[in-house]
Structure 1
């Protein structure tokens, strides 16, 4: 108590906001803490959580503890990681966005005006006197010589060699909210400037309409109210856009080869623990630390822990996967997303496109299986030949025989299929095709009966594999125990297949080993998973389930908020406020995720940029800033900023651009601004539309565009094809008097491309 009062007296001395604080020296310690709310002795976090965002391989052992009491070890691990995540205060979103809504005046301050928490001057220094004992140099410093955005300010604070801010998780969450609410406010203003050139009743929008607040509110479609959250990394809108980008990659690049998961295991990585302690001026012997000590060190600086995870991922991609070593083949494209588990620890889910990889149903099954065996192993290594790999596989790749709650979630058996069936060679199983000359009902009955027999026979095998008292060296020994031939065993496995499935080569002792790549596992030194993708549909659904599983329920909730606001006839600005408020009230964020979002660390990465090309005749555009509109005549209709189609039509008058379609233009060139205009190979566009530069780093961008049904909306369908793949400089070149529609122009028209005297069918050019 003496130290607290001494600190308060020092703050009165040096902190401008504490000078008027009155300290009652006669107040006893018991009186000061008599109103303290005692926390409940126990809190069942698991039962109160509605979102069990548990990683698929969470039941895989991530460390080798020497404790003889597994229950004590599990309890210790849970306690050590419990503080890695937190629920943000439920009312903070309202305080941030609804500055003047729903304010109540409460005595004794009835004559004063309550203000938003973010309108409080010197908020940062008031909330964090330990970090700012003199109350100076905060993000809202009034007399700062050069303006600094909250994002840049907090990035500097958290990355500073003075780690007093990085050590405080409360400060990290504060920084995240300030940064994101600043971005949300800016994004709201931008969203309200977006509209279509034509109103629903057919009027062309002019300057006077955009300056009329009531008319402007009508122009914005509130079904798009969540789009203002797209720049906010980690929000549902952000991940929905990511999904659309991923779909575009799948359509343009084809089926990816491998799906991989790499989990974090900071408890196994000495460099993380040593780096944090080195920042604190200490050194430790990693091998002598127990689980709880490692957890305490990691919680002491989540900023360094998250930054080192990002660097580890970058090194894995750059120095191994994409290197000449080619541990999974020559990877030509990739995509990965960072996800945070319920315990707050990050892991990544990846898609890899491998050059010359065989494709399922296009190449022979044996070629596919040989390729899989070359890069994926499910074997427990020989401890004598490779003790290091044997140790890693035993510690991080072995599925627990006791399983976990997530394993048997709503199921009697392990939903991940462990123990896996041992088999002599890697095989692709398919559902049995129905007999051609057999009635459907009779066929279904026969299939059910055979499947029941197969399930009954295989259950005997699973029981033996689950029994730790039985050990079998070969599959023959295992099958002899249950009186099944190997041929019958294979048929039984295929009979239970409801879709095409890869059954990896395994010995009986390997049935608990999850698939891995030896080179990647040795380097990563933590749990991983690698799977060959059989078809694009399963790939999309598989990736979709991971990308959206944490945000799916939240996205549905936000849609309900939008629907309710439309019934209440709220303006679009108020609708967006409700969306952001709802999001901030229902989002659980870990300290490491807050670091990643505040400091702009990667939440996703790809070998390709994805560019959206608007092709609708009445596509959404952004209006000029209000300060420009106020200087224009009311009937002026040229009130829009230029977009990609405008810049394409104003492309340089050079030979290489004449026969270039918009899809190629967007894929090969990028728009540059500011200082970038002084870079190499920058070309000016015509009509002062800006500047472009050829993409020299990386590969051409993937294009994304609105997809219309050829049957339901043929005009927009063919209009999209023409605008993307037919070179043009004016919209009038996409139709003619003879062929007044996009569909007829596409099907029957012929044109002369610049530099040629030969008529070519539009159909052939586009295709």
Structure 2
């Protein structure tokens, strides 16, 4: 497998007599040695010899690592692992790496069963090396079913391009981001816990919310949906969010004069609709950045990478980049303002913002999900590339040096 380590993890124990011993991550006592707080009694962890026990009495089937650790982190009374905060997150990452290492090890050992020798790229290498097998290293070919592999990524990219060839450009681009203050998340936290202490709860709640959103879209929220495409990624702070493209029937396409009935980029009146006003101020305000906050993450070369603040407009116009320029009224022309709290020079201040800072949204969906849910009219092929970029670019990597 290209650009991946082929050696097992270098786990070394220092014995009481001073001697060193190298062990595998599948060693029965690895979990107890690595996490003595989680396993205070030195209980053996996972080994490849564990056998599953079922309620029906059908024993004898090998227990996988995924099944074993899923049992240990499941929500039940007396399970103290979920109360370990950052150690719990480290434990999850360690477990995930062990599971993936076992899967990759199986693929590496079963290359003949997976018919890897029949792939054309291996024959190309043999031809490039004058047909001498001694000049070729051991190449491991990942099957298309392995999530994140090169062939898996190529299939996802090809599927997305097939949508465009068959149905043309998409009609709506929707972005849905997790709200850690969702009631479903807060109600399931243990005393003293914050949302970031329980990534398992966050992803489960987000999954249910995302399924509900897709059900609403299929039930003609924006018309009869012909097809949809989405990808889910994670922010650096761990919150998942989804990018969704949908295609609707030609008769349901939004005409320019009706865009304002579907999408708004303005702050609602606080007196007439206080609930929607609160949600817009909490979830749909960008920044502020620029002169108000040069340290905002969106700032690149002292300029907002998202082109905020947007210009005021009396009516919605079709933009040059296939995205409309939505109506944003000035305060003196009837537009409303709102207040947000932000930090400036180490102090907490209240900043008044106008419609220039509003991210386009659909009022119905914003009420339904109470989170950042950006909805835009889309007719550009760039949106397909934007979505598939996240699932085909590979994992994030960094280069560092220790001295």
Same fold (TM over 0.5): yes
Aligned match of 2:325: 503
| Residues 1:428 and 1:191: Cα distance change in structure 2 (over 3 Å) | farther
Q: Structure 2 CA distance, aligned partners of 1:384 and 1:150?
A: 56
What's the CA shift for 1:547? 4.3
TM-score, normalization by structure 2: 0.72
Q: Secondary structure at the match of 2:244?
A: strand
| Residues 1:135 and 1:329: Cα distance change in structure 2 (over 3 Å) | same
TM-score, normalization by structure 1: 0.40
Structure 1: runs of 5+ lacking an equivalent: 1-92, 204-213, 283-292, 360-366, 431-498, 558-581, 587-767
| Residues 1:370 and 1:415: Cα distance change in structure 2 (over 3 Å) | same
Aligned residues: 348
Q: Is the 8 A contact 1:273 1:298 kept in 2?
A: yes
What's the CA shift for 1:389? 0.7
Q: Is the 8 A contact 2:229 2:245 kept in 1?
A: yes
Q: Quick check: 1:543 aligned with 2:387? A: yes
Aligned match of 2:107: 187
Q: Is the 8 A contact 2:299 2:305 kept in 1?
A: yes
Aligned match of 1:297: 194
Q: Is the 8 A contact 1:166 1:302 kept in 2?
A: no
Aligned match of 2:342: none
Q: Is the 8 A contact 2:174 2:375 kept in 1?
A: yes
| Residues 1:234 and 1:274: Cα distance change in structure 2 (over 3 Å) | farther
Aligned match of 1:424: 314
Structure 2: runs of 5+ lacking an equivalent: 52-59, 127-131, 336-354
| Residues 1:529 and 1:236: Cα distance change in structure 2 (over 3 Å) | farther
CA deviation map 1:444-477 (0-9, x unaligned): xxxxxxxxxxxxxxxxxxxxxxxxxxxxxxxxxx
What's the CA shift for 1:177? 1.2
Q: Structure 1 CA distance, aligned partners of 2:157 and 2:231?
A: 11
Aligned match of 2:175: 261
Q: Is the 8 A contact 1:230 1:237 kept in 2?
A: yes
CA deviation map 1:208-244 (0-9, x unaligned): xxxxxx9699598x5xx5x528655457775454333
Q: Is the 8 A contact 2:176 2:243 kept in 1?
A: yes
Q: Quick check: 1:307 aligned with 2:151? A: no
Aligned match of 1:407: 298
Q: Structure 1 CA distance, aligned partners of 2:119 and 2:238?
A: 45
Matches within 5 A, 1:489-568: 499-508=321-330, 509=335, 510-535=355-380, 537-547=381-391, 551=394, 554=397
| Residues 1:238 and 1:153: Cα distance change in structure 2 (over 3 Å) | farther
Q: Quick check: 1:155 aligned with 2:70? A: yes
What's the CA shift for 1:525? 0.7
Q: Structure 1 CA distance, aligned partners of 2:119 and 2:103?
A: 26
Aligned match of 1:352: 246
Q: Quick check: 1:166 aligned with 2:82? A: yes
What's the CA shift for 1:264? 1.2
What's the CA shift for 1:375? 1.8
What's the CA shift for 1:275? 1.3
Q: Is the 8 A contact 2:46 2:65 kept in 1?
A: yes
Aligned match of 1:139: 46
Q: Which has the higher strand share?
A: 2
CA deviation map 1:422-447 (0-9, x unaligned): 223222144xxxxxxxxxxxxxxxxx
Q: Which has the higher helix share?
A: 1
Larger Rg: 1
Q: Structure 2 CA distance, aligned partners of 1:313 and 1:191?
A: 37
Q: Structure 2 CA distance, aligned partners of 1:300 and 1:414?
A: 31
Q: Structure 1 CA distance, aligned partners of 2:82 and 2:235?
A: 21
| Residues 1:151 and 1:371: Cα distance change in structure 2 (over 3 Å) | farther
Q: Is the 8 A contact 1:258 1:352 kept in 2?
A: yes
CA deviation map 1:294-330 (0-9, x unaligned): xx42243322222122222222222x2223xx33222
Matches within 5 A, 1:572-587: none
What's the CA shift for 1:377? 1.2
Q: Structure 2 CA distance, aligned partners of 1:378 and 1:101?
A: 54
Q: Which residue, 383, 393, 399 being the options, matches 2:280?
A: 393
Q: Quick check: 1:118 aligned with 2:40? A: no
| Residues 1:160 and 1:232: Cα distance change in structure 2 (over 3 Å) | farther
| Residues 1:228 and 1:259: Cα distance change in structure 2 (over 3 Å) | same
Q: Which residue, 128, 132, 145 being the options, matches 2:35?
A: 128
What's the CA shift for 1:191? 4.5
What's the CA shift for 1:552? 7.0
Aligned match of 1:378: 265
Q: Structure 1 CA distance, aligned partners of 2:119 and 2:213?
A: 47
Q: Structure 2 CA distance, aligned partners of 1:272 and 1:235?
A: 32
Q: Is the 8 A contact 1:99 1:115 kept in 2?
A: no
CA RMSD of aligned residues (A): 3.9
| Residues 1:135 and 1:237: Cα distance change in structure 2 (over 3 Å) | farther
Q: Is the 8 A contact 2:50 2:62 kept in 1?
A: no
| Residues 1:372 and 1:552: Cα distance change in structure 2 (over 3 Å) | farther
What's the CA shift for 1:255? 1.9
